Structure 1
Amino acid sequence: MGRSRGGLTTKIHLAGDDGCRPPAVLITPGQWGDAPRLIPVLDRIRVPRPAGGHPRTRPDHLCGDKAYSSRRNRRYLRRRQIRHTIPERRDQQAHRRRRGSADGRPASFQRDRYARKRACIFQGTAAVAAIRLWLRS
């Protein structure tokens, strides 16, 4: 738990697959920023392969909200060849435009893929939080 304007709070950073299963969960104090937590969450992903061998650690595609938009995260995802759909924050867009060609091209963004984020992912997040609370008591 961490202290914020609303009192003692926590945040759940969750990677969810298409079947609403959480392959990776990270709990942080509520006042911590979201963008720096993307890489630790991705580093926790371990999906066993049916035929054995090393588990998969790289998703096919990543969808995230604006809170996870940062140059560091985009660079990390490019290096690991993870396709992603993360909207760019307005202040980042303005900064990029101000710098001109020195700051590169706009981040690609697939609006239709982003709109397909389902409510079951959010329901899965709440379920994980509830399970964690039940297991602690």
Structure 2
Amino acid sequence: MEIDLPDVVAEVKQQFARYEKALVTNDVAVLDELFRADSRTLRYGVGENLYGYDAIMAFRAARSPAGLMRRTEKTVITAYGRDTAVASTLFYRDTAPGKVGRQMQTWVRFPQGWKIVAAHVSVIDEPKDQKT
């Protein structure tokens, strides 16, 4: 298996950037588009465990658009072959000083394009010895 084919990494970086823009601007239509419409798609959030595309869509539709701005750092995208990739990033919000968010997404290429099939988001106290 080839790891980190440049064209595949570039494609996933582009989709990850679309996701990030949609997240901070609360573009729910794009967020919904980027998750795989499947009952097996899941998203573990900071305060919720969402099983299935419908649950993820309902969460997004009900979420407040306030306070979504953030900055990301140390984003790593690793592609495994031509059709699977993992995107990992740290994120920071000015409204949560001393905290660091961690986000991981598994992306799979389908005939409809790249889709997130699993995501995990958590927030921890920023480790003192790992400040960026």
Task: Provide the TM-score with structure 2 as the length reference.
Answer: 0.27
Task: Provide the TM-score with structure 1 as the length reference.
Answer: 0.26
The one of the two structures with greater contact order (alpha-carbon pairs below 8 A, sep at least 6) is 2
